[in-house]
């Protein structure tokens, strides 16, 4: 069957909100959370929706044995409390939670999906503007690039390495 990752493998996809449904992104996350070949999902979160489908998908992924990392920004004005609660929820589900980077505000919208394909490790990168927030997606005109381009995926992986080890500053 045709999956999001199959489509992204063949060609980059650029979602433009509000003209495309944000639920394509949530469907993609749900798809990878149950895909037996997906081994890891890393993501950033700034302002997430109340009762976030994204958080639910990540919890589902962790329950399905995937290694999941979520970088939550604690300096998201008006959303600090929500992000702390989401952090606690994710932590209880064995999701690695990183609460921001000291001295920096993490406002990037990134998602990195690692999948085993024919004995090879393939990475898919999602790079976007705006927030991974389904309730505000209709209001702003954000973009989300979904790509299997190894150069972009490598750069996104370096950003996540920095989130995990702030002393390790990558070259871009």
Give dist(CA 112, CA 114) in Å, integer: 7
Handedness of CA 123, 127, 132, 137 (dihedral sign): negative
* Residues forming beta bridges with residue 130, ordered by sequence position: none
Beta-carbon contacts of residue 80 (< 8 Å; ≥ 6 apart): 74
- Phi/psi for 4 (5° steps) reads -60, -45
Q: Would you call the peptide bond into 165 cis, given omega within 30 degrees of 0 as the criterion?
A: no
Please give the helix or strand (H or E) that residue 16 lies within, else none. Answer: strand 13-16
Residue given tokens 């085993």 in the structure block: 116
Q: Which residues are catalytic?
A: 107
């Amino acid at each position: 069957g045709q999956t999001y990752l199959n489509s992204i493998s063949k060609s980059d996809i650029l979602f433009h909100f509000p003209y495309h449904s944000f639920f394509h992104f949530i469907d993609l996350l749900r798809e990878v959370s149950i895909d037996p070949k997906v081994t890891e999902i890393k993501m950033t979160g700034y302002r997430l929706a109340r009762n976030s489908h994204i958080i639910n998908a990540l919890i589902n992924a962790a329950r399905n044995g995937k290694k999941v990392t979520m970088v939550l920004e604690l300096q998201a004005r008006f959303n600090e409390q929500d992000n702390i609660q989401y952090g606690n929820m994710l932590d209880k589900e064995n999701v690695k939670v990183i609460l921001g980077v000291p001295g920096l505000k993490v406002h990037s919208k990134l998602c990195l999906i690692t999948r085993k394909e024919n004995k090879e490790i393939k990475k898919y990168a999602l790079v976007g503007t705006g927030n991974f927030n389904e309730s505000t997606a209709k209001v702003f005109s954000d973009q989300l690039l979904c790509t299997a381009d190894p150069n972009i995926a490598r750069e996104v992986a370096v950003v996540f390495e920095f989130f995990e080890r702030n002393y390790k500053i990558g070259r871009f």
